[in-house]
Amino acid sequence: MHAVFTGLGALLFFLGAAMTPLDASARAVRLAALGDSLTAGFGLRASESFTAELARELAAKGHEVEVLNFGISGDTTAGGVSRVGGVIAARPDGVILELGANDALRGIDPSLAEANLELMLGELSRAKIPVLLTGMRAIMGMGKRYGEEFAAIYPRLAAKFGLKLYPFFLEGVAGIPELNQPDGLHPNYTGVREIVRRMLPDVEEFLKGIRK
């Protein structure tokens, strides 16, 4: 009888250990990408979006990462302010923030775009969620002064909040016809792959900080 209970006890111990949740270091990291059409994958299949491609490339590098797509085509920084609460509610381990392109296309005052980005970053900071901030430029001929003021938003906010900054989301893709869809604004799948290729080292560095 004693041997039976010993065996049963060992079995229950084994099952209990098997049912114990994995610790945070063993589970997949969850990144949320909060952005506009460049994040959403406008004009592309879901499997060709920035988030899908980033997840694949991270997996190929041996990283277990889930990338949540919080991109909405046409969204501005003001729209991002209204949506950041939903991103926080998803409880990601980190956020890639990509917003501002539509503000620049509409000629929105850079100070308003900056104020909106600051609101989002403040909420994410209070929630203790690390952020990789991606910069944007005014690429549609809004004038030199406007372009300089807009580009300056991102390094200023990165310094203020102590964030890692990827200077320009469309680096190496903007203005190159073969990497963009016919509208000249949205990357095609080849363009998305180039964006991810260039950004990947920064994302990997970002992940190191999350896992500390």
In this structure, which amino acid lies at residue 141? G
Contact 171, 40 (CB under 8 A): no
H-helix or E-strand containing 200?
helix 189-211
How many CB atoms lie under 10 A from the CB of residue 115?
A: 14
The one catalytic residue in 36, 37, 49, 103 is: 37
Contact 41, 49 (CB under 8 A): yes
Instruction: Give catalytic status of residue 82 as yes or no.
Output: no
The one catalytic residue in 2, 23, 25, 183 is: 183
What does DSSP say about strands 94-98 and 164-166: parallel, antiparallel, or unpaired? unpaired
- 165: three-class secondary structure by DSSP: strand
Contact 163, 122 (CB under 8 A): no
**β strands within 8-93, DSSP E:** 29-35, 65-71
Instruction: Give catalytic status of residue 47 as yes or no.
Output: no
Instruction: Give catalytic status of residue 73 as yes or no.
Output: no
C-beta contacts of 46-52 below 8 A and 24+ residues apart: 48/189, 48/192, 49/192, 50/192, 50/195, 50/196
- Provide the annotated active-site residues: 37, 183, 186
